[in-house]
Structure 1
């Protein structure tokens, strides 16, 4: 008889990965590169870390999970430089799309200025009174 129960996330991730690999194989889809890698690019003032972008490439997609600049260093185009560096890194790896999300009080206008297009939003996410906005940027056609 089957049951539903809690399981260690790493154990489950390993198992689900084998199922997804089987789906690729069953559908004759070949993907020759590593499936996932996580990358960080930092912004530095001399040796002091003052901001950065954390991102994950999965297949031919890049997800920007976090981007932030120390308050004292804002207005110096560091965010734009980080986005440019992330895009350059992605293009070198033939990434097709970059996606990210931001909250309505954070960087909506910034990402629009960087060429990202809104594709959705969810009200009251991650908590009441806040809206999360979703963006995508197509790199290669």
Structure 2
């Protein structure tokens, strides 16, 4: 019978990756080069960085990890331009879905205006009094 004990996270990660690689091979999935790509787009005013979007690819999925625009540059459609740029990057890579999350004090309405659909919310996450909202957008070829 197996016993449970603490293990080094890197050692366990390598072990689990081996299992997942085997599962992919058994099911004839080829995702070589489609995992772990980190993509970043910055918004500049001259040489000054004033906003940006950070994304991570996982198979046929793109997750927007962070998107922000400096306070003085909000309301100038930079966020919309960044989202549109992310969607183009995704289409160029044949991504099917884009996901992201935002907190109740951030940009729920913005993502809805950009065509993202809520697929879940969790109250008191990451701390009491804050709700995290999860969004998805399924891309179609353009």
TM-score, normalising length: structure 2 = 0.91
Structure 2: unaligned runs, 5 residues or longer: none
Which residue does 1:17 correspond to in 2?
Answer: 17
The CA RMSD measured in Å over matched residues stands at: 1.6
Q: How many residues align?
A: 141
Report if the CA contact (8 A) 1:95-1:140 is conserved. Answer: no
TM-score, normalising length: structure 1 = 0.91
Deviation at 1:19, TM superposition (A): 1.2
Residues 33/140 of structure 1: CA separation in 2 closer, same or farther (3 Å cut): farther
Which residue does 1:40 correspond to in 2?
Answer: 40
CA distance in structure 2 between the partners assigned to 1:135 and 1:64 by the alignment: 10
CA distance in structure 1 between the partners assigned to 2:26 and 2:125 by the alignment: 37
CA distance in structure 2 between the partners assigned to 1:91 and 1:50 by the alignment: 25
Deviation at 1:12, TM superposition (A): 2.8
Deviation at 1:71, TM superposition (A): 0.7
Which residue does 2:79 correspond to in 1?
Answer: 79
CA distance in structure 1 between the partners assigned to 2:46 and 2:7 by the alignment: 45
| Structure 1 residue ranges, 4+ long, deviating more than 3 angstroms after superposition | 1-11
